[in-house]
Amino acid sequence: MSSTARKVSLTGIKPTGEPHLGNYIGAILPALSLADSYESVYFIADYHALTTIRDRDLLRHYTRSVAASWLAAGLDPDRTTFYRQSDIPETFELTWVLSCVTGKGLMNRAHAYKAFRDRNREAGKEDLDAGVNMGLFNYPVLMAVDILLMDADVVPVGRDQLQHVEYAADIAGAFNALYGDRFSFKVPKPIVPDEGSAHTLPGTDGRKMSKSYGNTIPLFAADAALRKVIRRIPTDSVPVEAPKDPDSAVVFTLLERFGTPDVVAETRAGLVAGGVGWGEVKARLTDALIARFAPLRERYETLMAPGSELDDLLVHGADKARKQTRPLLEQVRDAIGIG
Ligand code: TRP
């Protein structure tokens, strides 16, 4: 992977929730499209999730669920490398090595850690580090390792993760400055998708769809559950017969994204003229989502079943990844004087 022609793109996915439509549009599809132009690596960052998830069944569930979602969405495990972070033991050895070349001050300035302290400050707590575990503090080092171990050229991330990729580059630089005569890490670059574009989707309250806003629409819910979520989306109380502004309502914006052009055009006309009510728009949106996602959901459910091929796929992916990580770690060990 390291010396061949194509550049490497690496995507890390933290398993901390059920996949929703916003993930699909904002993260999954753009990341999968990179597989056309890059040697693509995708992994489930289960040990990153451990900084916040303390329920073993839940961590296991999210890990499988996120893996199954990406596969159902079209991730091709033959054409890419797809694995669980925890299946790559080299990760944890390199984490220590890179911790030893990383300034503590760099971690003190990490956005996520600072935000945690700010919340403690606002809550009037005396100890600003209250509730901060070392995993949260070291999170950026582990993430740098994920990236550097796979020799990634580019890392597609949202704005919130940009600093972490910059840190990975800084940490690579620190190592290279010390040991570069024997071994140098490739210095990775972030790719940040432009926002406010095709990659963002409004949630049920009109704000960007995000787990933290509690405004998500699940990707693989059963029809009845999906219908219920859509029915609850707030709309105004303009009566069915009255003309309405289609673009004022999130249900229509979503229909525009997932409905067929015919249905969208007809719905727009009916809203503008009057005669189509929000209840009808919601029904059409639900139908559009079911039509689009039913085949994916079927694949998802097959993969989620106990004893499915999911676990084998991940183990096989880890074997593939370790063909890269094992020799890299050997070079690192040699460069630093271990072993
Ligand atoms: N921190 C990322 C997030 O919260 C997940 C992640 C872990 C990651 N390791 C990575 C992303 C390496 C890109 C590269 O979404």
Is 117:128 a contact under the CB 8 Å cutoff? yes
Using the structure block, give the residue that is written with the tokens 């630093």. Answer: 336
144 inside domain: yes
Which atom of ligand 1 is nearest to 16's Cα?
4
How far does residue 177's CA lie from ligand 1's centre (Å)?
25
Probe residue for ligand 1, chosen from 161, 212, 325 as the CB with the greatest number of ligand atoms within 8 Å: 161
**CB contact at 8 A, 91 and 319:** no
Distance 279 CA to ligand 1 centre (A): 39
- Residue at 223 is within a domain: yes
CA distance linking residue 117 with residue 107, whole number of Å? 13
Per-residue pLDDT for the chain (339 aa), expressed as one digit of tens each? 544 569 999 999 999 999 999 999 999 999 999 999 999 999 999 999 999 999 999 999 999 999 999 999 999 999 999 999 999 999 999 999 999 999 999 999 999 999 999 999 999 999 999 999 999 999 999 999 999 999 999 999 988 999 999 999 999 999 999 999 999 999 999 999 776 668 889 999 999 999 999 999 999 999 999 999 999 999 999 999 999 999 999 999 999 999 999 999 999 999 999 999 999 999 999 999 999 999 999 999 999 999 999 999 999 999 999 999 999 999 999 999 998
CA of 3 to the centre of ligand 1 (A): 24
pLDDT tens digits along 253-307: 999 999 999 999 999 999 999 999 999 999 999 999 999 999 999 999 999 999 9
Report pLDDT for 142. Answer: 98
Same domain, 292 and 313: no
| Tally of domains within the chain | 2
CATH of the domain at 262: 1.10.240.10
- Asked if 72 and 147 sit in the same domain, the reply is yes
Which residue has a Cα nearest atom 12 of ligand 1? Answer: 12
Cβ contact 172:185 at 8 Å: yes
* Nearest alpha carbon, ligand 1 atom 9: 143
* Same-domain pairing of 132 and 161: yes
Shared-domain flag, residues 28 and 57:
yes
Q: Of 235, 240, 238, 237, give the one whose Cα is nearest residue 253.
A: 235
The reply to whether 32 and 144 lie within a common domain is yes
Q: Which residues surround ligand 1 with Cβ inside 6 Å? A: 10, 12, 14, 45, 48, 143, 146-147, 155, 157, 161, 164
Question: What DSSP state is assigned to residue 25?
Answer: I
Structural domain containing residue 101: 8-201+309-336
pLDDT on residue 200: 87
Q: Are residues 55 and 157 in the same domain?
A: yes
pLDDT tens across 111-131, in order? 999 999 999 999 999 999 999
Tokens describing residue 97: 């090595």
Q: List the CATH number of the domain containing 131.
A: 3.40.50.620
Task: Quote the ligand 1 centre to 72 CA distance (angstroms).
Answer: 21
Atom of ligand 1 lying closest to residue 142 CA: 9
Quote the ligand 1 centre to 45 CA distance (angstroms): 7
